[in-house]
């Protein structure tokens, strides 16, 4: 018997959760359920996090969390509880299987079977945003080595356990050489440890186009957070409906299972929603906690229900579907099919060793880190970069040099183009003539700038790690 935490969520949440729990019970899942209240009611009761401390205690104690979708109220500074839960509980891996069930659910991609593994904690979803000038706002994209190692190793281990043949990595490292570059580099490093699994890297733009057009070319795809968020919805949708896909959010201690879709408020309370996405999440949960036979039994009953053409409105198709049913009736049909297997679709077998034993991250020895300059970001309403250069030069000491000025990453000084559009957000790169820079210089530069009314809105240190410059050049530099 495993105790799990359940949240019925908002919108269609309670209906699809009731349907799912009924199926789990009838299939013989050994679960003790502890229910918590999260989401809209809690938000609107004045808790901007959407969850109480007592509920956190329950989730952390039980470690396994089955969650229906939640409505995040618009405006009012409410934080998405999904993102908060993933980060608080260290749920670094988001696993989203996207498989078509052709010819029973209409899809342009009959043989699609793609497993998307999305990094779940960092990237732009760290949500560190600032307005820096009148015209420019910023969102920090954070990618860490432990973050990359954990998710990429997870992808290869999962692929190995599931008998998958290939792991593909999507990044945009031709542009983001540091952040996406690290993700790609770690992918190449870890791929070597799995010679039995094919590996490849695609630039995300053409990779995404290929995925939407020819998903059968892919097997497992591992991606940083934002790309994974977008492309897993695309992948689920092209199997037939987002209403069919479930997801697992896995951490070292806790895990959360859910549908990938939201609370569909317009469909709430009408007994029309498809509970399949949440049911798929619940099946992943059963495999995770070692109730693999029950998981397989439910999956086969579900596949048979799909095959029987008993469909909810979102996948109902005249000529293919046999019977249009509501949420409850769909659950009844799955329950009636428990113990049976599909005849055209391939039945699933009970999985073994469903939990992955991944090694703990081991921090590497620190590299030799040398400071060689600083980027000063300046809020300046002028338009001529030459004038800004003349304004900034007086803050430098005799050993320092203004190397370049960029605007939105494009070099505009020296030798800029007059055609380049400039905002009020400028980066002045300063280095030492003799190559040796000190932290103290930054403080002195800030002081001199302040004395001359130059509005520095942030600084970034320019480092070399083991002699290699660890910052991007200006475009055109």
Residue ranges binding ligand NAD (CB under 6 A) = 12, 16, 69-72, 82, 242-243, 258, 261-267, 273-274, 277, 314
CB of 267 or CB of 431, closer to ligand NAD? 267
Q: How far is the CB of 433 from ligand NAD (least distance, A)?
A: 53
Q: Which residue is nearest to ligand NAD (CB)?
A: 262
* Dihedral sign computed on CA atoms, order 98, 256, 42, 268: positive
> Please, which residue, 248 or 388, has the CB nearer to ligand NAD?
248
Rounded to a whole number of angstroms, the distance between the first and last alpha carbons of the chain is: 63
Least distance to ligand NAD from the beta carbon of 336, Å?
A: 21
> Is the CB of 277 or the CB of 474 nearer to ligand NAD?
277
* Smallest separation (angstroms) from ligand NAD to the CB of 304: 20
Q: Can you say how many angstroms the Cα of residue 305 is from the centroid of all Cα atoms in its chain?
A: 31
Nearer to ligand NAD, 40 or 308 (CB): 40
- Which residues, other chains included, contact 289 with Cβ-Cβ below 8 Å and sequence gap of 6+? 2, 4, 64
Cβ 354 vs Cβ 292: under 8 Å: yes
Pick between residue 123 and residue 149 the one whose CB is nearest to ligand NAD. 123
Q: Find the shortest distance in angstroms from Cβ 285 to ligand NAD.
A: 15
Nearer to ligand NAD, 199 or 327 (CB): 327
For residue 103, is the peptide bond before it cis, meaning its omega torsion is within 30 degrees of 0? yes
Kindly state the tokens that stand for 262. Answer: 């939201």
Least Å distance between CB 149 and ligand NAD?
26
Q: What is each CA distance from 468 to 19, 185, 313, 368, 387, in whole angstroms?
A: 57, 15, 57, 10, 32
CA separation for the pair 294, 25 (Å, rounded): 10
Can you say whether residue 456 is alpha, beta or left, with left for phi > 0 and alpha for psi between -120 and 50 degrees? beta
Give the C-alpha separation, 167 to 412, whole Å.
Answer: 41
Q: How far is the CB of 83 from ligand NAD (least distance, A)?
A: 9
Phi, psi angles (nearest 5°) of residue 310: -90, 105
**In whole angstroms, how close is the CB of 71 to ligand NAD at the nearest point?**
4
- Which C-beta is closer to ligand NAD: that of 82 or that of 291? 82
């Amino acid at each position: 018997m495993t105790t799990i935490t359940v949240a019925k969520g908002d919108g269609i949440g309670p209906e699809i959760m009731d349907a799912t729990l009924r199926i789990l019970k009838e299939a013989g899942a050994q679960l003790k359920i502890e229910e918590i209240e999260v989401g809209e009611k809690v938000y609107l009761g004045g808790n901007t996090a959407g969850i109480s401390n007592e509920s956190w205690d329950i989730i952390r104690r039980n470690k396994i969390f089955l969650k229906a979708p939640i409505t995040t109220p618009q405006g009012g500074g409410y934080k998405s509880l999904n993102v908060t839960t993933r980060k608080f509980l260290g749920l670094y891996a988001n696993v989203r299987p996207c498989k078509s069930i052709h010819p029973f659910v209409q899809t342009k991609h009959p043989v699609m079977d793609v497993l998307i593994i999305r990094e779940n904690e960092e990237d732009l979803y760290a949500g560190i945003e600032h307005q820096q000038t009148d015209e420019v706002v910023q969102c920090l994209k954070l990618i860490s080595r432990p973050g990359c190692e954990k998710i990429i190793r997870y992808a290869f281990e999962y692929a190995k356990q599931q008998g998958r043949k290939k792991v593909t990595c999507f990044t945009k490292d031709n542009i983001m050489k540091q952040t996406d570059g690290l993700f790609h580099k770690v992918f190449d490093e870890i791929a070597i440890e799995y010679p039995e699994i094919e590996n490849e890297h695609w630039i995300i733009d053409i990779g995404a186009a290929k995925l939407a057009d020819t998903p059968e070319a892919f097997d497992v795809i591992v991606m940083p957070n934002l790309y994974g968020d977008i492309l897993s919805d695309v992948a689920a949708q092209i199997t037939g409906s987002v209403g069919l896909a479930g997801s697992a959010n896995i951490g070292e201690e806790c895990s959360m299972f859910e549908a990938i879709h939201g609370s569909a408020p317009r469909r709430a309370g009408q007994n029309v929603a498809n509970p399949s996405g949440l049911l798929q999440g619940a099946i992943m949960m059963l495999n995770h906690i070692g109730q693999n036979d029950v998981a397989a039994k439910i999956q086969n009953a579900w596949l048979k229900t799909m095959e029987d053409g008993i469909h909810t409105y979102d996948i109902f198709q005249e000529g293919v579907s046999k019977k249009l049913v509501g949420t409850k009736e769909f659950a009844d049909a799955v329950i009636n099919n428990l113990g049976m297997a599909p005849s055209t679709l391939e039945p699933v077998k009970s999985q073994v060793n469903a939990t992955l034993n991944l090694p703990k991250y081991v921090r590497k020895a620190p590299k030799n880190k040398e400071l060689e300059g600083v980027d000063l970001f300046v809020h300046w309403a002028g338009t001529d970069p030459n004038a800004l250069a003349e304004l900034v030069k007086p803050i430098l000491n005799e050993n320092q040099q203004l190397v370049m000025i960029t605007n939105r990453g494009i070099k505009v000084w020296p030798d800029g183009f007059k055609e380049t559009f400039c905002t009020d957000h400028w980066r002045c790169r300063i280095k030492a003539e003799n190559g040796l820079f000190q932290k103290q210089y930054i403080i002195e530069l800030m002081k001199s700038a302040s004395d001359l009314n130059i509005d520095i809105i942030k600084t970034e240190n320019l480092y070399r790690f083991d002699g290699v410059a660890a910052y991007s050049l200006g475009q055109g530099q």
